[in-house]
Amino acid sequence: MSHAELRVQPGLTPAKASGLEGVVVADTQLSHVDGERGELIIAGSSAETLALAEGARFEQVAARLLALGTGEGVPDLEQRLASARSAAFTRIASLRGALALPDAMDALLAATAQGSAGADAVSVLGALPVYVAAAARTRAAQPLIEPNPGLGHAPDFLSMLGLPAHAARARALDAYWITVSDHGLNASTFTARVVASTGADVMPCVVAGLGALKGPLHGGAPGPVLDMLDATAHVEPRAWLEAEIAAGRRIMGMGHRIYRVRDPRAFVFERALARLEHEDARGSTVALRLAHARHVEQVAEALLSERHPERPLRANVEFYTALLLEALGIPRDTFSAVFAIGRAAGWLAHVAEQRRTGKLIRPASRYVGSAPQ
Ligand code: COA
């Protein structure tokens, strides 16, 4: 067979370097991203409505997602997650090695693999904040704090981190987790679905999702966004941003595969931050940081539009995630892991939906290597 024959395999679409852009690989009832209009629908409602509604709790949205994914009602999720957090804490002593890993995502990945093998979806979802908080406290050489089953997922997580968990802060974290709970077929959700499509059980699907989320092009940007805000706090942002681009680096928190307008999740976080500004004792610090972030965003947007007039590169979810999680006092090396706690609701719903409605995901590749002699 000649090399030319090997390269032209009938029936295969050339992959190009597309990153699967625009390729549909699943039908889903869970969420929809409209990148042109800047709209995000989660479980049939706009993300903004869900996240900013009075009394909105992460557990309610997780229950809706899981119900859609499994095709069955998910009663008492709040209580079941509280029990799962308590159960996870009883296993913590056996996870010391995993929790002591220096990187927050590595620690979460290892603790989930070791501590949640064979567990069902609710047990894994409930265990994640316990592992994240225990790893953060371990890194800070602080004693671990037990979960309190009388609290909701958000205030209990803040409390396990040793942070104030009053209503305004819990509400902001609930708004954050609801907003990031699902987002179409992003890289980590796709990864989780691929693993689910092989018939694997829940834990490996979540561990695979965590692996995909770790990268800076996906969930790893918010820490570097804060580094950028710190670095530009006392200098003109434009010169700093130009130097970053000249050094071959990307501006973190800017650009998106799907959105051609500003990421609607950035608006939700701005609103949640504005609420915190009024209700929290640290409100004035939050306000100053927010004003600086808006300025950096405008300068970055202008600079990127000069360089890429063909491709709008606007603020994405990670830009204001950084500010919101910072305002809650969450350590910046923990941001991606906190993102994972919320996104896991979507992963688990997609895993259930994939099992119920999908088949093995096994795309093709196009061989461009050399032919055997
Ligand atoms: N800063 C500088 N340039 C950027 C950029 C950014 N944040 N985002 C995209 N670009 C440029 C690329 O360098 C590329 O330019 P080139 O064609 O001259 O090489 C062009 O825009 C297209 O980028 P590409 O990587 O093909 O687009 P994508 O759809 O795959 O990228 C992201 C989407 C999110 C990966 C990308 O915008 C990015 O890396 N953003 C920064 C990281 C980030 O915030 N991640 C969180 C995402 S929610």
- Best probe residue, ligand 1, of 313, 317, 319 (max atoms within 8 Å of C-beta): 313
Using only the alpha carbons of the chain, give its radius of gyration: 21
Residue 255 Cα to ligand 1 midpoint, Å, equals 5
- Look up 277 and say whether it is catalytic: no
Residue 369 Cα to ligand 1 midpoint, Å, equals 29
Q: What percent of the chain clears pLDDT 90, i.e. is strictly above it?
A: 79
Percent of the chain as helix, strand, coil, to the nearest 5: 60, 5, 35
Q: What tens digit of pLDDT does each residue of 326-365 get? A: 999 999 999 999 999 999 999 999 999 999 998 999 998 8
252 in ligand 1 pocket by Cβ < 6 Å?
A: yes
Active-site residue identified among 297, 318, 326, 353: 318
316 in ligand 1 pocket by Cβ < 6 Å?
A: yes
- Look up 48 and say whether it is catalytic: no
Confidence label for 244 from pLDDT (cuts 50, 70 and 90): very high
19 in ligand 1 pocket by Cβ < 6 Å?
A: yes
Residue 265 Cα to ligand 1 midpoint, Å, equals 18
> Which string of b and e fits 76-93 if b means at least 16 CB within 10 Å?
ebeebbbebbbbbbeebe
Residue 137 Cα to ligand 1 midpoint, Å, equals 34
Kindly report the pTM of this predicted structure. Answer: 0.91
Q: What was the pLDDT predicted at 159?
A: 98
Alpha helices, DSSP H only, in the chain? 3-7, 47-52, 58-70, 77-90, 96-99, 104-115, 121-139, 153-160, 167-180, 187-197, 202-214, 222-231, 237-246, 264-279, 283-307, 317-327, 335-357
80 in ligand 1 pocket by Cβ < 6 Å?
A: no
Phi, psi at residue 162, to the nearest 5°? 80, 25
Q: What tens digit of pLDDT does each residue of 36-71 get? A: 999 999 999 999 999 999 999 999 999 999 999 999
